[in-house]
Amino acid sequence: MADVQRAVTAELDRIAPVIDDLGRRFADAGHELALVGGPVRDAMLGRHHNDLDFTTSARPEQTEKLLKGWSDAIWDMGRAFGTIGCRKDEWQVEITTYRSESYDPDSRKPDVDFGDTLEGDLGRRDFTVNAMAVRVPGRVVEDPYGGIVDLAGQVLRTPGRPEDSFSDDPLRMMRAARFAAQLGFSVAPEVVAAMTAMASRIEIISAERVRDELVKLICAPYPRLGLSLLVETGLAELVLPELPALKLERDEHHRHKDVYEHTLTVLEQAIDLESRLPGGGPDFVARFAALMHDVGKPRTRRFLDDGTVTFHHHDVVGAKLTRKRMKALRFSNDEIEAVSQLVEQHLRFHGYGTGEWTDSAVRRYVRDAGDQLERLHILTRADSTTRNKRKADRLQRTYDDLEERIARLSEQEELKSIRPDLDGNQIMEILGIGPGREVGEAYKHLLELRIENGPMSEEDARSALLAWWSARQ
């Protein structure tokens, strides 16, 4: 407890320029103000951030008036929910009126009612570790629901009955999985039981809100914890059914690995390789591709007469399933294309054998990967989960060789921007034709020659173009 007190004191001192000044402004106007939720929880965990959430007895219009002249900028997109936001120097601040909200059983949007007490406001929050507050400017800690004890025990529990909490806002079931993944905490048995019994209630929540929680979960430090909870409670069947579908029944001779466990291991190994990416992660596209890379296996599994198991074309089928699921979850077209491309290409490396690919095959690999090449490197390396050390080392050496060849060819030929040796204007001039379909066909032919043979001189490219044109006449 002493360590927690020291951590909180240090964090409150750090953010004193905001909480002390703002607390006095609200107190002088006759209103209560308290730092609340994540910032309080993270202060107790010794974590720092500059996004500060407050709750207040003031109504939104009163809050806005008090922020004028103090903040650098104000925004009110959350006014309907009682929230006014502002920026002060490097701090991002959101202040929300005490409230209680609940969902109509058939509605996706909450009804918002303003409350009158801090304790009442804290009681409507999702978990006890997020239901703690620090009154300002006096810095009095309020913990009516035992959040400090649960924080010490690293457990997620609701302030009241979990059934009431999840009925009020079903998205809190997804948030339980997300916070488990973010904090590395366990979830109280009664909360798991309520999630399991009420999983179908998630269907009233919009796809966009479910997507946002899923992204936060997958980009968290411990995504396996959150994903396993979604599968265990049946929520995954409703929000990401391709994941529990990977729990294939094992054939009696165990001739194929546990695809579900393999997938979670690939995800964790992909996370370990994120340092290769600009910025170092977390990278949602790489992680989600790792999670979805084998989702085509359930539909393509076949048992042969000799007892072996095959999953032919699971890469192509998996890419289609991935695209369909991401569209349903309202992901952007760019994200859908990037993840689906990685799923479809994740087996390409295995045609490399022990290095038999020609330079043209390496060029095609780079061209087809496009701007996803580094993520494809990560996914391919992460996809090796064999316990056979000799086999694992051999795969790693082979992929090292492929990457070295890519680097060597890239240095010589600028592989990432492969283009024909003649552009469209030159093609039209040489052939004496105007814009049209034939220019595109000529361009494609020259691109194939470029990939197959490497760079050509302008004279050789001209001769090759004229020979192709002559053969068409």
Q: Checking DSSP bridges between strand 140-142 and strand 186-187, what pairing results, if any?
A: unpaired
Asked if 105 and 173 sit in the same domain, the reply is no
Looking at residue 363, its pLDDT comes to: 86
Question: Residue 97, SS3?
Answer: strand
CATH (domain of 341) = 1.10.3210
Contact (Cβ atoms closer than 8 angstroms) between residue 288 and residue 372: no
Asked if 94 and 59 sit in the same domain, the reply is yes
Instruction: Report which of 122, 192, 117, 201 is spatially closest to residue 157, judged by C-alpha positions.
Output: 192
Quote the number of domains for the chain: 4
Model confidence band, residue 318 (pLDDT cutoffs 50, 70, 90): very high
Model confidence band, residue 251 (pLDDT cutoffs 50, 70, 90): very low
Tell me: the pLDDT tens digits for 139-175?
Answer: 999 999 999 999 999 999 999 999 999 998 999 999 9
Taking the chain, what is the end-to-end CA distance rounded to the nearest angstrom? 87
Domain C-terminal end among 238, 262, 282: 238
Query: Residues with Cβ < 8 Å from 277, sequence gap 6 or more?
Result: 283, 286, 374, 375, 378
Asked if 115 and 68 sit in the same domain, the reply is yes
Contact (Cβ atoms closer than 8 angstroms) between residue 176 and residue 229: yes
Asked if 333 and 286 sit in the same domain, the reply is yes
Asked if 253 and 367 sit in the same domain, the reply is yes
The answer on pLDDT for 253 being more than 50 is no
CATH (domain of 57) = 3.30.460.10
Query: Residues with Cβ < 8 Å from 271, sequence gap 6 or more?
Result: 223, 281, 282, 287
Measure the CA–CA gap between 132 and 160, rounded to whole angstroms.
Answer: 14
114 CA to centre of own chain: 33
Average pLDDT over residues 290-301: 94
Contact (Cβ atoms closer than 8 angstroms) between residue 96 and residue 66: no
Measure the CA–CA gap between 373 and 276, rounded to whole angstroms.
Answer: 11
Looking at residue 252, its pLDDT comes to: 46
Domain C-terminal end among 395, 417, 439: 417
Average pLDDT over residues 287-311: 90
Looking at residue 325, its pLDDT comes to: 98
Domain C-terminal end among 130, 150, 170: 150
Average pLDDT over residues 253-279: 86
Asked if 274 and 347 sit in the same domain, the reply is yes
Asked if 360 and 253 sit in the same domain, the reply is yes
Asked if 344 and 276 sit in the same domain, the reply is yes
* β partners of residue 302: 310
Asked if 90 and 227 sit in the same domain, the reply is no
CATH (domain of 159) = 1.10.110.30
Asked if 104 and 5 sit in the same domain, the reply is yes
Q: Residue 114: exposed, middle, or buried by beta-carbon count in 10 A (0-12, 13-18, 19+)?
A: middle
To which residue do tokens 């760079």 refer? 455
Tell me: the pLDDT tens digits for 418-436?
Answer: 777 778 888 888 888 888 8
Asked if 292 and 370 sit in the same domain, the reply is yes
- Of the CA atoms within 13 Å of residue 60, those in its CB half-sphere come to 18
Looking at residue 182, its pLDDT comes to: 96
Query: Residues with Cβ < 8 Å from 337, sequence gap 6 or more?
Result: none
Asked if 2 and 126 sit in the same domain, the reply is yes
- Mean pLDDT score across all residues of the chain: 89
For 179-238, the DSSP string reads: HHHHH--EE-HHHHHHHHHHGGGGGGS-HHHHHHHHHHHHTSS-HHHHHHHHHHHT-HHH
Expressed as residue numbers, the domain containing 200 is 154-238
The answer on pLDDT for 405 being more than 50 is yes
Query: Of the ranges 5-19, 125-139, 328-342, which one carries the lowest mean pLDDT score?
Result: 5-19
